[in-house]
Chain A
Amino acid sequence: MSAFLDNFMFSYQAVIFAVGVNGLLALSMYAVLAVGQLSLGQAAFMGIGAYVSALLTLHLDWPFAAVLLAAMIVPAVVALIIGGPTLRLTGVYLALATIAIVEILRIFLNASSFTGGALGLSGIPNKTTVLLIYGLLAVVLLGFILIARSRLGRAMEAMREDEVAAGVMGVNLPMMKLGALVVSAMIAGLAGALNAHANSFIGPNDYSFEHAVTIISFALLGGIGSPIGPVLGAVILTLLPEFLTSLQDYKLVVNGFIIVVAVLYMPRGILTWRIGRVG
Chain B
Amino acid sequence: MPPFALNGIFEMLAQILQQLPQQLLNGFVLGSTYALFALGFTLMFGVLGVINLTYGFYFSTGAFLALYATKTLALPIWLALPFAALLTGIIAILLDAILLTPLRRKKAPELSSLMVTLGATLLLYTLMTATLGTEIRRLPPGIINHAAITFGDVRMNLSQILIVAVTASIVVALLAIVRFTRFGLSMRSLAENGEAAELMGVNTDAVVRLVSFISGALGGTAGVLIGLNFNAIQPYMGEAMMLKGFAVIIIGGLGDIKGALIAGLVIGILEALTAGFISSELKDAVAFLLLIVTLWYRPVGLFGRAPVKRA
Which residues from chain A sit less than 8 Å from chain B, CB to CB? 36-38, 40, 81-82, 84-86, 88-93, 95-97, 99-100, 103-104, 107-108, 110-111, 163-165, 168, 209-210, 213, 216-217, 220, 250, 252-253, 255-260, 262-264, 267
Contact = CB atoms under 8 A, between A and B. Distances in A.
Contacts of B135: none
A259 B118 contact: yes
A259 B296 CA distance: 31
A264 B119 CA distance: 11
Contacts of B292: 81-82, 97, 100
Given A89-B308, A90-B307, A104 B285 contact: yes
B128 to A, nearest CB: 11
Contacts of A99: 243, 246
Interface stretch (B106-114, B145-153, B175-183): B106-114
Nearest to A257: B123
Interface string B299-311: 1100000111111
Given A163-B309, A252-B126, A92 B110 contact: yes
Contacts of A88: 299, 308
17 contacts: A38-B111, A82-B295, A86-B299, A89-B300, A90-B307, A92-B110, A95-B114, A96-B246, A100-B292, A103-B284, A104-B285, A165-B311, A209-B243, A256-B120, A259-B118, A259-B119, A267-B108
Contacts of A252: 122-123, 125-126
Interface residues of B, number: 46
Interface of B: 51, 99, 102-103, 108-112, 114-116, 118-127, 239, 243, 246-247, 250, 254, 281-282, 284-285, 288-289, 291-292, 295-296, 299-300, 306-311
B288 A260 contact: no
A106 to B, nearest CB: 9
A270 B96 CA distance: 26
A116 B44 CA distance: 40
A90 B126 contact: no
B122 A100 contact: no
A123 to B, nearest CB: 25
Given A91-B109, A252-B123, 8 more contacts: A92-B110, A97-B292, A164-B309, A216-B115, A250-B126, A253-B126, A255-B122, A260-B123
A83 B121 CA distance: 25
B111 A37 contact: yes
Contact of A38 (B114, B250, B282): B114
A36 B115 CA distance: 12
B122 A92 contact: no
A164 B310 contact: yes
Contacts, number: 133
A165 B109 CA distance: 14
B108 A92 contact: no
Given A82-B292, A85-B299, A100-B292, A259 B116 contact: yes
A263 B243 contact: no
B309 A103 contact: no
B111 A264 contact: no
Residue of A81, A89, A108 with highest tally of chain B CB at under 10 A? A89
A90 B110 contact: yes
A222 to B, nearest CB: 14
Contacts of B239: 209
Given A100-B247, A220-B115, A253 B102 contact: no
A85 B296 contact: yes
A91 B110 contact: yes
Nearest to B121: A256
B112 A256 contact: no
A257 B119 contact: yes
B100 to A, nearest CB: 10
Contacts of B110: 90-92
B107 to A, nearest CB: 12
A93 B114 contact: no
B51 A95 contact: yes
B114 to A, nearest CB: 6
B281 A86 contact: no
Contacts of A85: 295-296, 299
Nearest to B115: A263
A257 B98 CA distance: 13
B114 A92 contact: yes
B47 to A, nearest CB: 15
A92 B289 CA distance: 18
A256 B123 contact: yes
